[in-house]
Structure 1
């Protein structure tokens, strides 16, 4: 956890705008080879944006083009700040905006402003339902919700657990969170297990999730058989609430395969998470943005919210398959980072030797 906090703190340094010049690559002689591409991420509550999304997107753009610039900013969970950042990017003459919106509804005005200036918008990870973006790239969020919930339901039935389920959803202003919530319900509602209560976590903020779960532990003493948490931040907060209350820790889900969550899965504190190799989405978004910058209009492989889209399939991670997942090519987190001294014995038991 100390290493996790250090990494997260390191990510804070990257909050100011960074401009990266792209090196030589396949697109050096094509149109758009001197384009500026905006990459706008939503928050620092999840460490992934600073540690993985931004550097991976920039690396792919470097591979694709020569003379390009990636203009990166993080809105720190402030939709007004993200609007200002987008306006700044448009003023700097970007040829495409890749955006993971803080607030999916508020981001509609960013799409309208950009398209009004002929600048295409690629929604990244979170969709923008109220105003059609030019493209949407993500893992399938509804499927994520269904997978984590079904995994939990199957486990609770296997161990013949008694009691009901808590559901800790993501932010009510995030359309992706709404899709995850829909997916969770598609597994929980027909399961025969009682849904005790659910909560939409403002801004995905772990402290808000922990506060709510703490109240439910008091409200439903010895009745909580499992908790479906929509991401690793809310999952970690749920686990912290149970530990603080001195209550028996039930199986808890997550999503994002963050370093701390992988360690919790290994130790047995967290039941599952979701592997979404960020490189897959970052590479796809960079490729699509570059095509738009060259004046092309990439075709979607599917549509969502009437937007041409590409949706990738994620993988549920539990103790049963974590050794395999961590060894998959391109997985962002190294085994040596996960299996620190505190987790060495648990890693060895699971066959995780770096």
Structure 2
């Protein structure tokens, strides 16, 4: 969703990984769109438009989350392409796990909310005790899409395939 800054973070991260291959011509980006409200139905409409504009020649899809991946898979299914086009998502939701088991979604990136909560509480406690973010073990610089550098602690996501 264009109104959610997380969409920009996810897009920037994806482009950071794919940029070199796109610039070299190894990968051709045939479309990108915000999915209003992160709704699967809107993702399906976006994907239908990409398929139409490219005569169904889409080799892979990087979806922002598993809900939008579900919309993508619905569009691919309508064209008989489900399971032939790799589709990524994130969140590890039940529907995505089923699609992975069926072979219509390739991967879901899961971030354990329990670990996120535990780390957030530990950091908050240390900050409350007067420690600076830069002094917390594992804190690294992160540059936001807006160009601000902030100290961050990165957790390791899990790829579910």
TM-score, length-scaled by structure 1: 0.38
Give the CA deviation at 1:207: 1.9
- In structure 2, the CA distance between the partners of 1:310 and 1:241, relative to structure 1 (3 Å rule), is same
SS in 1 for 2:72: helix
Quick check: which has more Rg, 1 or 2? 1
Give the CA deviation at 1:175: 2.9
Partners of 1:173 and 1:310 lie apart in 2 by 25
SS in 2 for 1:253: strand
Question: Is 1:316 equivalent to 2:159 in the alignment?
Answer: yes
Q: Which residue of 2 aligns with 1:215?
A: 49
2:11 to 181, 185, 209: 181
1:113-144 superposed Cα distances (whole Å, 9 cap, x missing partner): xxxxxxxxxxxxxxxxxxxxxxxxxxxxxxxx
1:305-340 superposed Cα distances (whole Å, 9 cap, x missing partner): 34332221212222xxxxxxxxxxxxxxxxxxxxxx
Pairwise mapping of residues 304-343 of structure 1 onto structure 2 (< 5 A)? 304=142, 305-318=148-161
Q: Which residue of 2 aligns with 1:194?
A: 28
1:273 to 103, 108, 118: 108
Question: Is 1:288 equivalent to 2:123 in the alignment?
Answer: yes
Partners of 1:202 and 1:229 lie apart in 2 by 13
Q: Which of the two has greater strand per residue?
A: 1
Give the CA deviation at 1:297: 3.6
User: 8 Å contact 1:288–1:298 — kept in the other structure?
Assistant: no
User: 8 Å contact 1:226–1:252 — kept in the other structure?
Assistant: yes
Question: Is 1:227 equivalent to 2:61 in the alignment?
Answer: yes
Partners of 1:209 and 1:222 lie apart in 2 by 16
SS in 2 for 1:194: coil
Pairwise mapping of residues 90-105 of structure 1 onto structure 2 (< 5 A)? none
Q: Which residue of 2 aligns with 1:236?
A: 70
- Give the gaps of 5 or more residues in structure 2: 134-138, 143-147
SS in 1 for 2:109: strand
SS in 2 for 1:269: coil
Partners of 1:316 and 1:299 lie apart in 2 by 32
Q: Could you tell which deviates more after superposition, 252-261 or 298-307? A: 298-307
1:169-202 superposed Cα distances (whole Å, 9 cap, x missing partner): xx22333322221221233333212111111222
Partners of 2:118 and 2:29 lie apart in 1 by 38
User: 8 Å contact 1:299–1:308 — kept in the other structure?
Assistant: no
Q: Which residue of 1 aligns with 2:140?
A: 302
Output the aligned Cα RMSD: 2.0
Partners of 2:159 and 2:87 lie apart in 1 by 13
Aligned residues: 145
User: 8 Å contact 1:210–1:241 — kept in the other structure?
Assistant: yes
TM-score, length-scaled by structure 2: 0.78
